[in-house]
């Protein structure tokens, strides 16, 4: 009996990791990890719509406290803005740090990647000069019920178009597989 159980445990341990690699499933949980690049051009894809009231002035990295910024930025596969476009990030950020470096950000990210189409929504505080993690609060279509987080890091802040690296870590809960 014990040796039979050991036999099945061994088979289980040998088979499951193979399944995890080939189907991007980890013990039945589906996940997806990829990196895209967000390009933001001042007064073209992103605008200050309400001026802030305190703190540092508008610069390459700072905006006054209370600044309301709205954007609709392209997302590409590679760092170059001319590389293949596979998504859009639309949202708003409000400078919420008195240092002028941090802002509360809300965004809907529309994606067409790795045979998955739909959108995810994120919320969190973005730091203009450091990597920031934003929890995924939900999704639509192929991303329905998705959880996880997105890490946004500045890549190039010089010039009219600034670029951010966006790393996606998406996980589908078990109940997502029974979607209508």
Ligand X SMILES: *[C@@H]1O[C@H](CO)[C@@H](O)[C@H](O)[C@H]1NC(C)=O
Virtual torsion, Cα 109, 121, 96, 63, nearest 10 deg: 0
3-state helix, strand, coil in the chain (%, to 5): 15, 55, 30
Site for ligand X in 24-43 (CB under 6 A): 42-43
Using the minimum distance from each CB to ligand X, give the nearer residue, 5 or 160: 160
Q: What gap in Å lies between CA 88 and CA 125, rounded to an integer?
A: 19
Contact 84, 111 (CB under 8 A): no
Q: How many residues does the chain have?
A: 180
Cβ-proximal residue to ligand X, closest one = 43
Quote the least distance from Cβ 160 to ligand X, whole Å.
Answer: 6
Nearer to ligand X, 44 or 78 (CB): 44
Return the number of the residue (151 or 161) whose C-beta is nearest ligand X.
Answer: 161
Instruction: Rank residues 42 and 176 by Cβ distance to ligand X and give the closer one.
Output: 42
Per CB under 6 A, which of residues 140..159 are in contact with ligand X? none
Q: Would you count residue 3 as binding ligand X (CB under 6 A)?
A: no
**178: number of Cβ within 10 Å:** 7
- Of the two residues 52 and 87, which places its CB atom closer to ligand X in the complex? 52
Nearest-angstrom CA–CA distance, 96 and 135: 18
Residue list 84-103, contact with ligand X (CB under 6 A): none
Task: Please give the DSSP secondary-structure letter assigned to residue 121.
Answer: E
Residues of this chain that bind ligand X (CB under 6 A):
42-43
């Amino acid at each position: 009996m014990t040796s039979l159980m050991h036999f099945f445990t061994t088979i289980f341990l040998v088979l499951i990791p193979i399944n995890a690699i080939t189907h991007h499933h980890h013990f039945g949980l589906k996940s997806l990890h990829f990196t895209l690049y967000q390009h933001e051009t001042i007064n073209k894809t992103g605008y200050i719509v309400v001026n802030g009231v305190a703190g540092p002035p508008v610069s390459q990295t700072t905006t006054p406290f209370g600044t309301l910024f709205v954007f609709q930025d392209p997302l590409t596969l590679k760092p170059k803005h001319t590389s293949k476009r596979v998504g859009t990030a639309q949202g708003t950020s409000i400078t919420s740090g008195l240092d002028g470096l941090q802002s509360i950000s809300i965004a809907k990210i529309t994606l067409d990647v790795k045979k998955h189409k739909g959108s995810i929504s994120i919320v969190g505080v973005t730091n203009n000069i450091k990597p920031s993690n934003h929890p995924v609060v939900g999704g639509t279509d192929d991303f329905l019920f998705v959880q996880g987080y997105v890490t946004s890091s500045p890549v190039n802040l010089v010039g009219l178009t600034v670029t951010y690296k966006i790393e996606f870590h998406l996980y589908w809960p078990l109940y997502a597989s029974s979607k209508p």
